[in-house]
Amino acid sequence: MGTSGSMDSRKPAVSGTFYPGNKEALLQMIESLKKRAHPLTRERVAGIIVPHAGYQYSGAIASSGFITLDRSKPDPAKHLFVIGPNHRGYPYESVIDGNQSWELPNGDISLDVSLIQALTKSGNLKINSMAHKIEHSVEVQIPLLLSYTEFRTIIPIIMGDQEPDSVNTLYDAIAPYADDSLFVASSDLTHYMPDAVARNIDSKIIDSILKLNIDDLYAIVHEGATPCGYGPIAFLMSLARNKGYRMELVDYGTSADSSGDKTSVVGYSSIVCYSQK
């Protein structure tokens, strides 16, 4: 379909580590995560922010977001963008995967090939399957997406550079399709801080998101906060600002909630973006 290592099907990179590699074990785990989730019911959902750590740590909070998305009865015919950070930071631009489908233990998901071709023709987005091959930020979302929603087609994008210019470039490329699309922004929050410190920093990050204050989000990041997917978050904030949507916190926690270790934690949130009209 494209260049830079595109194939027919992407194999899972973190199956058996971030989530169970066995289908039965994975489905059992997702069922247990569902019982621990705290979703909201909101209509006209445009997107969600969800974490992408190991399911034992962040899966219940991510489930809160996906169930909230599903409760809005979204049209599965809509385009679904799943946007995550490229943890390796290279390539610097935002890139799409060039495979036809992705394989997961609980099923396969197709890529929205026609829309991907249209996006790459614009020149603002490139295909780079090799970058996607080892990145987990989008992959971790897909087993949950398959379990909780009817979506079976996605547009996966990872961002190397996540600064405002890159967010604006990505937004300009996707904007013509935004009204017919839903968005999953993949990001954890504060990394490797004591629990109380992480919760304090995360409260400031979440406050900036709910207020749609992109400048504040970047100020917090540039002061040393460590949300890994602040670019995808800023993208969804830009959409909300431009469309008049609202952001609302669905669920929050840290890895200490599962591990009991408060000395060095990672923070996780689910946030829903929806129209009040």
Residues 68 and 48 sit within 8 Å (Cβ to Cβ) = yes
pLDDT of residue 4 exceeding 90, the answer is: no
Portion of the chain with pLDDT greater than 90, in percent: 94
Overall average pLDDT of the 204-218 stretch: 98
pLDDT of residue 5 exceeding 70, the answer is: no
**Higher-pLDDT residue of 89, 95:** 95
pLDDT of residue 228 exceeding 60, the answer is: yes
pLDDT of residue 63 exceeding 70, the answer is: yes
The pLDDT value recorded for residue 277 is: 78
Domains of the chain and CATH, by start? 9-154+165-177+190-274 (3.40.830.10)
- Residue 2 tokens, joined: 């494209």
Q: How many residues does the chain have?
A: 277
Instruction: Write the DSSP string, 67-98.
Output: HHHHHT---TTSEEEEEEE-TT--SSSEEE--
Identify the band that residue 3 occupies on the pLDDT scale cut at 50, 70 and 90. very low
